[in-house]
Amino acid sequence: MIELKDITKGFGDKEILKGVSATMESGKVNLIIGASGSGKTVMMKCIVGLMKVDSGSILYDNQDFTAMDHRAKKEIRQQIGMLFQGSALFDSMTVEQNVMFPLEMFSKDSLKERKKRVDECLERVQLKDAAKKFPAEISGGMKKRVGIARAIVLNPKYLFCDEPNSGLDPQTSLLIDQLIKELTQEYNITTVINTHDMNTVMESGDHIVYMYQGQKQWEGSNKEIVFSKDQQLNDFIFASEFLRDAKEMRQLDMFKDSKWKDQLEEQLKRDGKK
Ligand SMILES: Nc1ncnc2c1ncn2[C@@H]1O[C@H](COP(=O)(O)OP(=O)(O)OP(=O)(O)O)[C@@H](O)[C@H]1O
């Protein structure tokens, strides 16, 4: 679990993060969403330590990352996997060499063990046949899968993904979302995704943190999101008529589940529809 406690970050006299507290849960896909400029990337950079917060603290499984010395921070960083926007693969290396790279940097395993681990990861993302190919020879979706294999090769406890669906078609996006979700559950990873993709929000966001102008405006599950009365959040998520219809359909679908029945009835009463 990662906890943010009242973090602030500014540049010069411009305050970007204005006291954000939020929780990213283990074994869950945690999403950071919000309009452009709301502070999502700055927040993600602060969490992984690429930027230093001005105040507040960030706890990795109860250990205060913000108060750690360089060595302790390095240990946490070695438990972090990162999937970058655009995949950020090394063009001159084959797929398997790209996945091997973090092991060569940080692992003390023998070459045989490292090769075995690379094979396992490539198998897991269904890319064994592409092991000897170069990034220029594979599709955007395959590149993302190489990026995912590389991000998990060191068995991370925490996985950060920056816009994992950018530049992908809707079907490939879904497959990437599914893969990230499966890996998160299989290895009980605390996954944090910065995304603009509403499909990801509705389909795979277990826990969602909505940022608005440098503050956490809303936090909850993708089930709770369809019942939220927060105007900013609703304007952002259900921006089109199509999405508003989808929201109502999701509510009706959840109505079948007794767990949500009371909540929906209450909402319909409040909205004067019942
Ligand atoms: N290194 C920096 N120096 C100064 N200002 C910065 C820096 N990094 C980010 N900002 C500012 O912080 C604000 C939030 O930026 P951020 O990149 O976090 O937004 P975002 O929500 O991730 O947007 P997008 O969805 O477009 O990626 C912006 O006004 C941006 O100009």
| Residue 16, ligand 1, Cβ within 6 A | yes
The atom of ligand 1 lying closest to the CA of 214 is 14
Residue 100 lies in a domain: yes
Residue 251 lies in a domain: no
Ligand 1 centroid distance, CA of 261 (Å): 40
The answer to whether 29 and 23 have CB atoms below 8 angstroms apart is: no
State the CATH number of the domain containing residue 212.
3.40.50.300
Please say if the pLDDT value at position 272 is more than 80.
no
Task: For ligand 1, atom 8, name the residue with the nearest CA.
Answer: 42
Residue 48 lies in a domain: yes
Residue 122 lies in a domain: yes
Alpha carbon 108 to its chain's center? 29
Residue 88 lies in a domain: yes
Confidence tier at 247 by pLDDT (50, 70, 90) = confident
Residue 242 has a pLDDT of: 80
- Counted domains in the chain: 1
| Residue 39, ligand 1, Cβ within 6 A | yes
Alpha carbon distance 154, 147 (integer Å): 13
Residue 52 has a pLDDT of: 94
Crossing angle of the two packed helices 111-124 and 140-152, in degrees rounded to 10: 130
| Residue 50, ligand 1, Cβ within 6 A | no
Please say if the pLDDT value at position 254 is more than 80.
no
Residue 207 has a pLDDT of: 95
What are residue 59's DSSP bridge partners?
A: 3, 64
Q: For a substitution probing ligand 1, which of 8, 32, 42 has the most ligand atoms within 8 Å of its CB?
A: 42
Alpha-carbon separation of residue 8 from 57, 68, 189, 192, 264 (angstroms) = 9, 18, 26, 19, 36
Please say if the pLDDT value at position 223 is more than 60.
yes
Place of tokens 């060499």: 97
Find the angle CA(22)-CA(147)-CA(192) to the nearest 5 degrees.
Answer: 5
In percent, how much of the chain has pLDDT > 70?
94
Q: What is the mean pLDDT of residues 118-131?
A: 91
Place of tokens 């608005």: 212
Find the angle CA(100)-CA(106)-CA(109) to the nearest 5 degrees.
Answer: 70
Q: What is the mean pLDDT of residues 40-47?
A: 94
Please say if the pLDDT value at position 167 is more than 70.
yes
Ligand 1 centroid distance, CA of 33 (Å): 14
pLDDT digits (tens, 9 = 90+) for 5-31: 999 999 999 999 999 999 999 999 999
Structure tokens at 123: 């198998």
Residue 208 lies in a domain: yes
| Residue 200, ligand 1, Cβ within 6 A | no
The answer to whether 173 and 199 have CB atoms below 8 angstroms apart is: yes
What are residue 215's DSSP bridge partners?
A: 212
pLDDT digits (tens, 9 = 90+) for 169-200: 888 888 889 989 999 999 999 999 999 888 88
| Residue 34, ligand 1, Cβ within 6 A | yes
Residue 259 has a pLDDT of: 67
Q: Which domain holds residue 44?
A: 2-221
Residue 117 lies in a domain: yes
ipTM of the predicted assembly exceeds 0.90: yes
Residue 227 lies in a domain: no
